[in-house]
Amino acid sequence: MARFLGVCLAVVATLAFTPLADAWTRISPASDESTIVHLRTQKGSTLEAWYGGGYSTSVVVVRNAEHALVIGSVPDGGVALAPLILLQQPSGTLLVYFTAVTGTFRLSSSDDGRTWTVPVRTALSADARIEGGAVLPDGTPIFAAIDDYQADPWTLAMYEGVDLERRQDADVQHAHGSPLVTPRGAVYFEYDVDGIPGGTYLQRLDATGAPVGPARRLPEQLIGLLTGDRPGNLFVVSVPGGRIRVANLRTNATWFSGRVYEVNGLTATVDTRNRLSVLWIDGATVPGVRFHSGSLRVEHRIRPVELPFGEPFGTSPVWGFVAVARTDGHFDSFVSANGEILEQRIR
């Protein structure tokens, strides 16, 4: 554990916020290709996490859009090509997982994200690559992970436990995917199979994470973000043919946006009133739409917000984008670009 230089049980550093033009705020440096993950805690706090530093040398968390805190350092060798995972168990314990060259590590918090433990190595092999995670209704974390990223064909498998100590028997070859547990407690596994015939599939799981019935193959145009609400709706957000498409798999309702120029980021968020909102980066602006609760009838069109940098995006790539619905109807939005994290409250 001595390799985790500069890590303590609380906070390693607080990074200063810097105002930018157009109301965007620079809140933290980030790795050049850092994505962003987010979660709303049981106590109502919002958390965002990403890799900090020019070479992904640390894990950074922002709580309630206030201060960027370095919660852990990555061991020698740096991070591997795998996403950060941010989860919460029914007990209130928060979990962050990151994949380093030497293995997958876990940090945890028992005080709503104010302080965090040092990173702990999980049981997952150093050759494995975690792809997504969720928490079952009984509090058990489940994960999708590639057993050996160098294998051909590679195998996508499901793992259980806080330290990924149990591997399920079922697996899929040449696939990428992630589990989802909706606010209502429904459990799904969405995966995309490469090659021919390939395709995207949605597998229903029971409360223990075991498959229930055959997987449902989704139409090609439905490949995209998957999210659910408490009434039981399941939404897929995608970008087929130059438009944003939102499909409700429970009711078969569909909504299309107008033509979009160039989608460089896409996010979906459900608020405490079960209203789905979809925001995206179109060129150098952030437009969006909010729907009525449980439906795809438009309630509010979000006024496009200019990003604080222009085009071409070849020199200003956006690596991560999330927007979190607030109780006041606004959105805390975060963009990862040019080696830094930017934040703005969108109305």
Q: Which of 96, 304, 90 is nearest to 207 (CA)?
A: 90
Report yes or no: 314 and 291 within 8 Å, Cβ to Cβ.
Answer: no
Q: Locate tokens 């209704």: which residue? A: 137
Mean model confidence pLDDT for the chain: 84
What three-state secondary structure class fits 221?
helix
What three-state secondary structure class fits 22?
helix
Spatial distance between the Cα atoms of 198 and 190, rounded to a whole number of angstroms: 13
Confidence grade of residue 315 (pLDDT, cut at 50, 70, 90): very low
Residue 340 pLDDT > 50: yes
For residue 315, the cross-strand partners are none
What three-state secondary structure class fits 272?
coil
Spatial distance between the Cα atoms of 308 and 294, rounded to a whole number of angstroms: 34
Report yes or no: 333 and 279 within 8 Å, Cβ to Cβ.
Answer: yes
Minimum mean pLDDT range among 10-19, 67-76, 160-169, 323-332: 10-19
pTM to 2 decimal places: 0.85
* pLDDT number for residue 256: 95
For residue 172, the cross-strand partners are 156
Q: Tens digits of per-residue pLDDT, 219-277?
A: 877 778 889 999 999 999 999 888 999 999 999 999 999 999 888 889 999 998 999 99
Q: Where are the alpha helices (DSSP H) in the chain?
A: none
Spatial distance between the Cα atoms of 156 and 78, rounded to a whole number of angstroms: 23
Residue 338 CB contacts under 8 Å (≥ 6 apart), including other chains: 309, 316, 317
Report yes or no: 177 and 131 within 8 Å, Cβ to Cβ.
Answer: yes
Report yes or no: 163 and 116 within 8 Å, Cβ to Cβ.
Answer: no
Report yes or no: 289 and 257 within 8 Å, Cβ to Cβ.
Answer: yes
